[in-house]
A and B are shown apart, each in its own frame.
Chain A
């Protein structure tokens, strides 16, 4: 294979002109965030970088998205990954790094695992979790009040 052709296949994710970068994602968590945020449904360019070298974290995942950031995306990122940060990019430059806060309510991102919850039988119901203790980041199912746990 010619040298020129091989260069085309080098891993190189360039700068984006307008969009956002989710940085400092816990290594291995990038694909999950990609799916949970519904980025797989976008028709713009999305790059997922896993196990990138990070001065701060050792290794990290990153997601670069070439589309303007929608407002509601922000808070849910804080829930999905506590270490993640978001850079908003315009004209190739970072114009904002918004402060991440846990959302008061999470809708249809996670599901209640309590088999006795009404959402387990009435599937058309929205899966809603409410932040009941911001200090500990505790979320409870709106219906049965079962504490959310990732385990």
Chain B
């Protein structure tokens, strides 16, 4: 079986360091990598639309000199004819050298990985895993902060359903002395399997609060998340909670000059556009780091050494 990436923890801390070093090198020397994947094809199998993730993968492959093919919704794939994920990947393995798969069902990428002859990168499987988003978040922190040790990381918004939050916590607890402050309404607090099984069991320092203003001065990183409508069964709850936190200029004045604001995007109301020009608001830069870390990951999985 080809090496596949299903979850952020499939990548060891050492491998992550090496990936981030490669990504930094690509950023500094793009020409050196411009033909690294010439003759190679990335298949983007997107059973549900995700413009940013798909384009990030495609841009990554194109910048490496490779080509891309694929589909961007289930409607334009053989899934409408009833083809299984396993069969689709078997077919794609005949055309492409590597694949990024997005699917609304949890575990779909693993089904593909089990049958694939080429490396599969999980580009999001429902509310389950989205490893390259976590790599993007880590890469942004590493590039702008230098390291992960001793950081105080605030996570704000939907901490109950937000898979990016859960994955990032799991990845960050592998570093020394990272402290967490979870800022959420009571209804959207981190689930017990993160709080009890991961943080308490491993003696990781954390606090849970509801008011963002109180903790802003102590944060090195503020990871904002969107409250997602599709996670709620009750529209009334969604409406009540969606604008619980809005990060605006007034709140940013309370934060340290070195705090970074990250967001997996798309944002809705949780970050006011009035802070987009603030140098601490790095969520658009984060997208660029995402492309570079995906370039590094593609190189690694294709065993291309530059």
Contacts and interface: CB of A to CB of B under 8 A. Distances in A.
Contacts, number: 45
A117 B107 contact: yes
A3 interface: no
Contacts of A146: 106
Contacts of A119: 107
Interface string A114-125: 101111111011
B111 A145 contact: no
B85 interface: yes
Contact of B105 (A121, A124, A142, A145): A121
B162 interface: no
Interface in A127-150: 141-146
B84 interface: yes
Interface of A: 114, 116-122, 124-125, 141-146
Interface residues of B, number: 15
A120 B111 contact: no
Contacts of A125: 86, 111
B84 A116 contact: no
11 contacts: A116-B106, A117-B106, A117-B107, A120-B105, A121-B105, A122-B84, A122-B85, A125-B111, A143-B107, A144-B107, A144-B128
A146 to B, nearest CB: 8
The 5 A-B residue pairs with the shortest CB-CB distance in the complex, in nearest-first order: A143-B107, A144-B106, A118-B105, A118-B107, A144-B107
Most chain A CB within a 10 A radius of its CB, from B84, B104, B105, B107:
B107
A144 B125 CA distance: 9
Contacts of A117: 105-107
A118 B103 contact: yes
B185 interface: no
A120 B111 CA distance: 13
